[in-house]
């Protein structure tokens, strides 16, 4: 009798359980919401498939006052979720983009990418890069999506993401530095509580991080890492060990840290890594004291969440 359907191969509590026969259960299911005009901000949104082969899509957002006579900055955003959960169509990210697009007066492209355990890295990176290349088709105003043709200033493109999406934004910044994208100028990258990790503890992690938390974060990387990965010190998750980091193709970067985040020491350490490499851009780091991981998604009307969105808006629109 085959018992593999019942035998557990890997279990990450409250997140996902994988069985030896390959099937799995995810314990978090995002609240998927439709597109359309948001009644509180007037922001309009729609989903467009960027990869017919994989059926991956982007959720596009334009502000209420969008007009072809005034081109707007473009934000390409990658959602978080540990490479395992969440969606560009979830209520958390949809609400965040409605607010940010309205407040910053920008166009946003929120990218859906394939997730583990079905699809391990580098698939999320490859999907994200394919989405960027799809956006590139619009630089001459002749791409397949009218909103990008009509409303975007491709001289003002920004990469952004939270948590695992911040990790993706970091790696896409490196990739645009080594690839020529026709007439797209990547002005900056915005990393919101980015997901980095490593074998050795950094900063004060050894003083407060419980072994159970270390094991939990280790297990997430074990599930999503690419075949042949060296483990916790893979440059994909540990930027300290990435020799390509100085080649990031953006001229400025904003890193937002949450003071009570379990990733806080990694994000503070990322600042040191950037400052010590030979990247020639300008780094801005801001920390919200007393806040947890991606708090701005969970409580968007809080004072600090409003402040974070203002910070991002100012970073994008600053000349």
Give the position of tokens 């000349």. Answer: 319
pLDDT lower than 50: segments of the chain: 1
Write out the two tokens for 25: 């259960």
Tell whether 126 and 274 lie within a shared domain: yes
Active site residue 293: yes
What sign does the CA torsion over 195, 187, 256, 58 have?
negative
Write out the two tokens for 75: 């934000």
**Domain of 5?**
1-30
Tell whether 166 and 298 lie within a shared domain: yes
CB 88 within 8 Å of CB 112: yes
Beta bridge partner(s), residue 63: none
> Angle, to 10 degrees, between the axis of helix 123-136 and the axis of helix 164-177?
60
Q: What is the pLDDT of residue 246?
A: 94
From the list 125, 131, 130, 91, the residue with the least C-alpha distance to 111 is 131
Q: What is the pLDDT of residue 2?
A: 56
Within 13 Å of residue 194, how many CA atoms lie on the same side as its CB? 32
pLDDT tens sequence across 54-65: 999 999 999 999
Tell whether 54 and 18 lie within a shared domain: no
Tell whether 4 and 133 lie within a shared domain: no
Q: What is the pLDDT of residue 179?
A: 82
Q: pTM above the 0.85 mark?
A: yes
Write out the two tokens for 38: 């948001």
pLDDT tens sequence across 144-171: 999 999 999 999 999 999 999 999 999 9
Tell whether 5 and 125 lie within a shared domain: no
Tell whether 1 and 124 lie within a shared domain: no
Please give the distance of CA 158 from its chain centroid, rounded to a whole number.
Answer: 12
Strand order in the sheet with 282-288: 44-51, 56-62, 107-111, 72-78, 152-162, 186-192, 252-258, 282-288
Active site residue 163: yes
How many independent structural domains does the chain possess?
2
CB 171 within 8 Å of CB 236: yes
| Active-site residue identified among 128, 163, 173, 229 | 163
Write out the two tokens for 215: 């094991």
Tell whether 240 and 176 lie within a shared domain: yes
Q: What is the pLDDT of residue 1?
A: 43
| Active-site residue identified among 127, 242, 261, 288 | 261
Tell whether 42 and 23 lie within a shared domain: no
The CATH number that applies at residue 139 is: 3.40.50.1820
Active site residue 45: no
Tell whether 26 and 122 lie within a shared domain: no
Tell whether 132 and 22 lie within a shared domain: no
Distance CA 92, CA 86 (A): 9
Tell whether 54 and 118 lie within a shared domain: yes
CB 2 within 8 Å of CB 8: no
From the list 94, 86, 95, the residue with the least C-alpha distance to 164 is 86
| Active-site residue identified among 79, 128, 293, 313 | 293
Start-end of H helices in the chain: 91-104, 123-136, 146-151, 164-177, 205-208, 211-224, 264-276, 295-298, 303-317
CB 217 within 8 Å of CB 245: no
Tell whether 70 and 111 lie within a shared domain: yes
């Amino acid at each position: 009798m085959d018992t593999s359907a019942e035998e557990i191969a890997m279990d990450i509590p409250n997140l996902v359980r994988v069985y030896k026969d390959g099937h799995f259960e995810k314990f978090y299911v995002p609240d998927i919401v439709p597109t359309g005009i948001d009644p509180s901000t007037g922001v309009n949104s729609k989903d467009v498939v960027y990869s017919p082969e994989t059926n991956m899509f982007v959720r596009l957002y334009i502000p209420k006052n969008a007009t072809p006579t005034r081109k707007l900055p473009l934000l390409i955003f990658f959602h978080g979720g540990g490479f395992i959960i969440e969606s560009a169509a979830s209520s958390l990210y949809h609400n965040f983009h409605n607010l940010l697009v309205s407040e910053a007066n920008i166009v946003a492209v929120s990218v859906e990418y394939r997730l583990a355990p079905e699809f391990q890295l580098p698939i999320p990176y490859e999907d994200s890069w394919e989405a960027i290349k799809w956006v590139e088709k619009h630089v001459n105003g002749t791409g397949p999506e009218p909103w990008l043709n009509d409303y975007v200033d491709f001289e003002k493109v920004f990469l952004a993401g939270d948590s695992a999406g911040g990790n993706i934004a970091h790696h896409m910044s490196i990739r645009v530095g080594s690839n020529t994208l026709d007439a797209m100028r990547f002005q900056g990258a915005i990393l919101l509580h980015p997901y980095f990790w490593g074998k050795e503890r950094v900063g004060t992690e050894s003083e407060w991080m419980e072994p159970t938390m270390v094991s939990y974060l280790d297990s997430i990387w074990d599930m999503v890492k690419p075949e042949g990965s060296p483990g916790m010190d893979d440059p994909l998750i540990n930027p300290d060990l990435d020799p390509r980091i100085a080649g990031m193709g953006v001229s400025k970067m904003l890193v937002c840290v949450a003071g009570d985040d379990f990733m806080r020491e990694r994000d503070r350490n990322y600042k040191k890594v950037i400052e010590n490499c030979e990247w020639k851009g300008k780094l801005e780091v801001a920390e919200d004291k007393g806040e947890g991981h991606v708090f701005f998604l969970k409580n968007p009307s809080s004072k600090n969440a409003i402040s974070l969105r203002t910070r991002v808006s100012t970073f994008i629109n600053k000349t």
